[in-house]
Amino acid sequence: MMLLQRNTTTFGARATRSAPKAVRSVSVRAYGPDRPLWYPGNPAPAWLDGTLAGDYGFDPLGLSSDPATLKWMVQAELQNARWAMLGAAGVLLTSIGAAVGLPFPEWYEAGAAPLPSTVHGDWSFGTLVATMFLLFHWVEQKRIGDFYKPGSQGDGSFFGITDDFKGTENGYPGGRLFDPIGFSRGGEAMYKKYKQNEIVNGRLAMVANLGFWAQYAATGKGPIQNLADHLADPYHTTFTTNGVSVPFLNN
């Protein structure tokens, strides 16, 4: 009994000591000159020095060699990555719901689905577009203002919560309103780790959305149904047998 307790305590102590090392290793390897590169052995461009989240030295065309362009492209990628993660989650959730019999439209049918009824009848498409334009215009104006003058969008707020709108840095609103759980307040190492995780997962989501579109163009089905069809007949239901992806192969 005492031996078991001693071993358990030792294991717990080892786990406790090893946890901080894992965080440090992620931060060190994801940033700085010693980070992994997309092309091992090939030096990264001088303008990609490892200070940005998700910087693997990939810019073969030199599109971000200008500092102002690099700053803009960082924010553009971050915004598209976040939308892609939301989009991928929506595609998968609706596809799963449709597969289990819930009244969910597939993602490629959702745009044609009836809008929710109101006391004045169904919403018209024009009303929806106008509402979205007004809301998005306000948000995008705030975001572009913060891009050119970081931290400025909370100044003079009539809500009395100026500091909560300032955020941490450009592209990361933070504060109690946009970071209620406090991810950005967990220390510099963890903050960098979360930024790295976000952009890496966002890039994966952008690729996933391209895959969803290509799947529908080739098969006319959603990703979950495609997966189910493949699992039911893995040797005959692949991208080489749909007659579109590899057109010179016959089914």
According to the model, what pLDDT value does residue 159 have? 59
Query: Cα–Cα distances in Å, from 67 out to 62, 94, 143, 219?
Result: 11, 41, 19, 43
According to the model, what pLDDT value does residue 239 have? 82
Number of domains in the chain: 1
According to the model, what pLDDT value does residue 136 have? 87
CA-CA-CA-CA dihedral for 184, 188, 194, 198, to nearest 10: 90
User: H or E element: which one contains 121?
Assistant: strand 121-122
pLDDT in tens, 103-115: 888 888 887 776 6
Look up the domain containing 74 and give its range. Answer: 67-112+123-232
117 in a domain, yes or no? no
106 in a domain, yes or no? yes
Residue 81's Cα: distance from chain center in Å? 4
According to the model, what pLDDT value does residue 12 have? 45
40 in a domain, yes or no? no
According to the model, what pLDDT value does residue 169 have? 79
Map residue 159 onto helix, strand or coil.
Answer: coil
Helices assigned H by DSSP within the chain: 2-30, 67-99, 125-148, 162-166, 175-178, 188-219, 223-232
116, 109 Cβ separation under 8 angstroms: no
**In terms of Cα–Cα distance, which of 215, 184, 208, 185 is closest to 197?**
184
Query: What's 182's domain CATH number?
Result: 1.10.3460.10
**Which pTM does this prediction carry?**
0.75
7 in a domain, yes or no? no
**What's the average pLDDT block by block, 10 residues per block, for the chain (251 residues)?**
42 45 50 82 89 91 92 93 96 91 87 63 76 86 80 62 67 75 80 91 96 91 91 87 74 48
122 pairs with which residues across the strands? 117
28 in a domain, yes or no? no
According to the model, what pLDDT value does residue 162 have? 62
According to the model, what pLDDT value does residue 172 have? 80
In sign, the C-alpha dihedral spanning 54, 60, 63, 67 is positive
32 in a domain, yes or no? no
> Which residues, in sequence order, are CB contacts of 161 under 8 Å at separation 6+?
154, 177
165 in a domain, yes or no? yes
User: H or E element: which one contains 122?
Assistant: strand 121-122
245 in a domain, yes or no? no
**In terms of Cα–Cα distance, which of 184, 164, 187 is closest to 176?**
164
According to the model, what pLDDT value does residue 29 have? 63
